[in-house]
């Protein structure tokens, strides 16, 4: 676990009441996004995005909104689902959805 992940894991559990497993996964996902698309992303910048995200459905939803917003702002990231806690839903590859 990188220092980046360790710092985020601690903050997610202590300040955002995420359970330890979810916090560890979330931190790993941010780190993966950081390495693949946003090398200049700092823990502070991610936490700012997290603070700006809607909190109506708990940490996981708030996290997914934050990582989605950061991914949308990055020209090289066309799909943030691999970094979200929700991941890919079972309908992601069904081309018939929305065509009927």
Domain that holds residue 48: 39-87
Q: Considering only CA atoms, which of 10, 34, 36, 35 is closest in space to residue 24? A: 10
User: pLDDT tens, 45-69?
Assistant: 999 999 999 877 789 999 999 999 9
Alpha carbons 86 and 93: distance in angstroms, whole number: 15
- Whether residue 1 lies inside any domain: the answer is no
Q: Quick one: pLDDT at residue 32?
A: 95
Alpha carbons 30 and 92: distance in angstroms, whole number: 22
88, 62 Cβ separation under 8 angstroms:
no
Alpha carbons 43 and 2: distance in angstroms, whole number: 12
User: pLDDT tens, 4-42?
Assistant: 899 999 999 999 999 999 999 999 999 999 999 999 999
- Whether residue 2 lies inside any domain: the answer is no
pTM for this entry: 0.84
- Whether residue 96 lies inside any domain: the answer is no
């Amino acid at each position: 676990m990188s220092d980046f992940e360790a710092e985020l894991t601690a903050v997610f559990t202590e300040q955002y009441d995420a359970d330890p497993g979810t916090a560890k996964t979330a931190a790993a996902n941010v780190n993966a996004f950081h390495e693949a698309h946003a090398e200049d992303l700092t823990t502070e910048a991610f936490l700012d995005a997290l603070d700006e995200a809607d909190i109506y459905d708990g940490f996981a939803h708030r996290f997914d909104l934050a990582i989605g917003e950061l991914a949308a702002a990055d020209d090289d990231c066309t799909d943030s689902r691999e970094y979200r806690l929700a991941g890919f839903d079972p309908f992601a590859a069904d081309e018939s959805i929305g065509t009927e």
